Amino acid sequence: MDLKTKLLNDLTAAMKARDENRVRIIRLIRGNIRKMEIDQRRELSDEDVIGVLLNSVKQHEDSIKAYAAGNRSDLVAQETEELNVLRSYLPQPLTPDEINKIIESVIKETGALTIKDIGKVMPKVMAQAKGRASGSELQTLVRNKLSAV
């Protein structure tokens, strides 16, 4: 089942259960997806939907940091709840071992030797880990591996 269908089914289930928060969050997600489809004038694939979800996750993480800095625990709790719902639709995150295997295989494949070769490595690592690991985390790990080489 594709993600858009799953979202629609979950929306229906949340409406029947009268879970107003979940209904609101899923409607926001579906609205963002629909807006992207209208902007791009095409039906979004699951990969595109994951991209929309990742953007929303990033926005919520930034909001949580800002609200925490402003001592707004009520808004932090609300954003955290929304973030948890968003993450439930993303693929399972990669384990540190899986990330290291991906990085090592890409380094061998590209023949990268120094930190100057990060431009060769990062696009391939990002493509393999899309939606399953954060870009900043991957970049830090790649830099560490290339510095140690």
Q: What is the pLDDT of residues 91-139, one digit of tens each?
A: 898 999 999 999 999 999 999 888 999 999 999 999 998 878 888 889 9
Same domain, yes or no, for 69 and 132?
Answer: no
Domain of residue 24 covers 3-87
pLDDT mean over 58-79: 95
Provide the percentage of residues in the chain whose pLDDT is more than 90: 76
CATH code of the domain in which 115 resides: 1.10.10.410
Contacts of 116 (CB under 8 A, 6+ apart): none
Residues 112 and 77 both lie in one domain: no
**The pTM is what?**
0.78
Q: Is the pLDDT of residue 149 over 70?
A: no
User: Can you tell me the mean pLDDT for 20-34?
Assistant: 95
> Residue 111: which region, alpha, beta or left (left: phi > 0; alpha: psi -120 to 50)?
left
Residues 74 and 113 in one domain: no
The pLDDT value given to residue 131 = 78
Q: Cα 70–72–78 angle (5° rounding)?
A: 130
Which CATH number belongs to the domain containing residue 53 in this structure? 1.10.1510.10
- Cα distance between residue 49 and residue 112, in whole Å: 32
CA–CA gap between residue 91 and residue 130 (Å, rounded): 9
CA atoms within 13 A on the CB side of 78: 10
d(CA 54, CA 47): 10
Supply the DSSP symbol for 45. P
pLDDT mean across residues, the chain: 92
DSSP-derived secondary structure letter, 42: S
CA distance 125 to 139: 9
Last residue of a domain, one of 87, 111, 129: 87
Are 60 and 82 contacting, i.e. CB atoms less than 8 angstroms apart?
yes
Where residue 88 falls among pLDDT bands split at 50, 70, 90? very high
